[in-house]
Chain A
Amino acid sequence: MRDLLFAQNRFGLGPRGGQPAETGDGREWVEAQLGQRLAGLDDVPTRSEAAEALIAYREERRDARQNRMDMPAAMPAGGTMASLAPASMMAPAPAANPAGAARRAARPPELAAARRDQRELYLRAVDARVGAALTTPTPFLERMAHFWANHFAVGATKMTTVGYAGLLELEAIRPNLTGSFADLLFAVERHPAMLLYLDQAQSVGPNSLAGERAGLRGRDVGLNENLAREILELHTLGVRTGYSQSDVTEFARALTGWTVAGIGRGPMQRRLSGQSGDFTFAEALHEPGARTILSKRYGEDGEGQARAVLRDLAVHPATARHVATKLARHFIADDPPPAAVARVERAFLTSRGDLPTVYRALIEAPEAWQADRPKFRNPWEWTIASLRALDLPAPPAQRAVGLLQELGMPVWRPASPAGFDDIAASWAGPDALVRRVEAAGRFATAAGQGVDARALAPGVLGARLSNATATAISRAESPATGLALLLVSPEFLRR
């Protein structure tokens, strides 16, 4: 089955209603996108804007602290946006916590404005992402940008990353979608958003110049192994693939010196070269000496040491298996068929991670074209598919952010560096379902009375439209109810 509509749902972002129906072969439609590059986005924040906003925020916070020594519990350094909360019950908005409310009320207006500026950057990036998803001429590539942004998840969950999180996708992922996995990996791990999110920007080699000086002054600064661990566990090899704690620690030592100019937090910040907010290598933070990682010795000096490790990790067989499994899970099934995983894995290994080759193996997998095995759409996919189906314009970013928060998948804000889950068990919950019905009601109202769900349904669902859904739509008491039913129908919830 190479139905175009099927391809648009499974490999793309869903068909767009209100447009002349496209015709042609589904597989050719996907493959034609492999040689293309994603178009640049308009009005996206730049990293110098993000750096300025973060520096301004920190200055305001320092002033606020100095002015209010009687308020010791101000936002802690690197504090979370929404601190403890029963995870899923927490909106980014105010907690019903009297101490928190008092703190917010006492916050000087300059500090509140600095926080708003950071959030504004986040909203502009969300706006660009939603806009691109609705209008892109290359929906498969757009989907791959979302996939990799989740694979290399960075959470806008700390004040240091609110303004930066979207930039990882815009600057490191989108330009590298159709190159090699190694290039993508380098771009991501050197990006300031990643270095800030996983605390690498503050890591100091204990025997580096900075580490020794700090030691002499009795200050305890040192290694932070967070980025090293997550690169091995999440970004490349995958968990339980044979590396040890000493590999993690050694890799963390190799990574010391990889930091962000101007806004890192460790010692030597004032002396780092480079534009504020850009990647920089600081020799004074780097742990001297050769490293042994995964039984291989890395004798390189300086920045090149971690780069050499990444180069090996990028083409490691465990990485091929890990990436192939995640891709197959995303496009084929929650429990991906082993034969399909093996073919994608082989394509990865033989091409040394050439991404178009890997994607082609996936598209050619017969398992990916079986209609009887649909994937449950996650909240982002479902929201985008709904807006496209009803041909709605992008909602204001503030509203899109709130909606996706309610649906359980706030943009670039996963609860952990593992990103959002990619299986139905994580999204098909009782309450999550009611929320989609509520959101569908809102979309349908926005679409107005002019769209006839009975006419739209076959164009959106094609051969998958069941008699039950067609009947339910035709019996709806209003055009809006009919549209809402289409969006929450069992067929539309899946792709």
Chain B
Amino acid sequence: MDRRSFLATGASGIAAVTFAPHLAFAAAATDRRFLFVIQRGAADGLAILAPTGDPGFAGLRPQLGAEAANGTKLDAMFTLHPALKQVAAMTAAKQALLVHAVASPYRDRSHFDGQNVLETGGALPYRMRDGWMNRLVRTMPDNPQAIAFAPTVPPALRGSARVASYAPSNLPAAGEDLMIRVGDLYANDAQLGPLWNEALQARTKAGDLATGRGAVAAGALAARMMKGPGGARIGMVETDGWDTHTAQRGRLNAQLTGLDAVLAAFRDGLGEDWNNTLVLVATEFGRTARENGTGGTDHGTGSTAFLLGGAVAGGKVVADWPGLAPTALYEARDLKPTINLDALIATALGQHFGQDPARMAQMLFPDTGSAPLRQKLVLS
């Protein structure tokens, strides 16, 4: 018996996973899928979706603003960053909805607090102990599989619903005998036993992509794990490196090239399932409207979020544009948020999974009392 077949057998032996009690939701089973791509480090929405039609933009961004000249002009106001070629194609195909001047309820400028609010869905940092994606799993009636594409589970997915995690490893595989014995050793450990079972299941499914590297491989891996009737229906990918205090132009270009590749590889890998899929790309907060003295930007407030996928009612920018005049800026320095990220997420997920967005908001963000948006974000 080789390692793969051992793992497959081992996994089937532990398939009866105990889930936490589910919240009663009346929705039918669905094959719709949701992937959250988090941008850790505060991505600069004003560079990603540049408001080139705003009269204040060029003055605030004398150096950085030049990048937009090569971008994709979406309407009279907004230009998409040139590195986002696939996102531009998705927008043209009405499969991308780009949202601007959006922010979570968090209004200070600490990455760690900001990410905590973004992931737990609380009104304040550390108010809630579980993550909104974990609560999402619990609103769904048929035990959808949820997976983090990371060695450990990020805060957004932590909570009482069981969640898998998987990331490729370069280490040599352990022998089959050792794997079996470790499973025995952890059987009675309340922390390690469940983790071990999750790990074996995820490894079985990953198969040959397990050694893949880089952005394309990451997108392809996520697609492989979420594709088809047995695939996970909730997933999360973490990306680092958005904290561009200096030399932003080159670094952001590299970041966005990678993000574009992840998204395209995910789309291509899903095949038909892309039509039933919603992808959210979001960050903890934006960056200062004015570029700083070192070719970068500092911590700000409003930024962008993307909704992508075949299920999205896309093809345009959604924004209640606050403007960049000095008096329009938040605390005279940041893009003022005019769309609540919680409301955006609850609305999109409510529409996507056929549930009442107001109830979805109540379940996922009970702390913030966000009212859903009126727009149609996802095709029914």
Q: Which residues of A contact B (CB under 8 A)?
A: 73, 75-80, 82-91, 93-97, 99-100, 198-199, 202-204, 206, 211, 220-226, 229, 233, 239-240, 245, 248, 265-266, 402-403, 406, 408, 415-416, 418, 424-435, 437-442, 468-469, 472, 475-477, 481, 484-485, 488-490, 493
Contacts and interface: CB of A to CB of B under 8 A. Distances in A.
Given A406-B171, A435-B171, A416 B41 contact: yes
A226 B246 CA distance: 10
B185 to A, nearest CB: 5
Given A82-B241, A97-B214, 10 more contacts: A76-B247, A79-B254, A80-B254, A84-B257, A91-B213, A220-B62, A222-B294, A224-B293, A431-B166, A481-B181
B272 interface: no
Contact of A428 (B191, B197, B254): B191
Most buried by A among B178, B250, B333: B178
B63 interface: yes
B199 A89 contact: no
B202 interface: yes
Given A437-B182, A489-B185, A239 B110 contact: yes
Interface centre among A85, A225, A440, A469 (most CB of B within 10 A): A85
A430 B182 contact: no
A492 to B, nearest CB: 11
Interface of B: 40-41, 62-63, 108-113, 125, 149-153, 155, 158, 164-175, 177-179, 181-182, 184-186, 188-189, 191-192, 195-200, 202-203, 212-218, 221, 237-241, 243, 245-247, 249-251, 253-259, 261-262, 291-296, 298-299, 331, 333
A31 B192 CA distance: 34
B215 A84 contact: yes
Contact of A85 (B181, B218, B245): B218
A488 B215 contact: no
A431 B165 contact: yes
B165 A481 contact: no
B178 A441 contact: yes
Given A76-B250, A89-B213, A485 B182 contact: yes
17 contacts: A73-B253, A76-B250, A79-B251, A84-B256, A86-B150, A202-B246, A202-B294, A224-B298, A225-B298, A226-B245, A239-B125, A265-B294, A428-B195, A429-B150, A432-B151, A472-B181, A481-B181
B202 A430 contact: yes
Contact of B240 (A85, A245, A403): A85
Contacts of A431: 150-152, 165-167, 169, 199, 202-203
Contacts of B177: 477, 481
**Residue from B113, B214, B262 with most neighbouring chain A CB atoms (10 Å):** B214
A245 B329 CA distance: 15
Nearest to A204: B293
A434 B299 contact: no
Nearest to A434: B199
B216 A97 contact: yes
B169 A84 contact: no
Nearest to A238: B110
B237 to A, nearest CB: 5
B181 A433 contact: no
B110 A233 contact: yes
A148 B169 CA distance: 29
B198 A468 contact: no
A83 B253 CA distance: 10
Contact of A229 (B182, B250, B299): B299
A476 B110 CA distance: 49
Contacts of A426: 152
Contacts of B256: 84
A471 to B, nearest CB: 9
Contacts of B298: 224-226
B251 A96 contact: no
Nearest to B221: A89
A259 to B, nearest CB: 12
Contacts of A425: 152-153, 155, 158
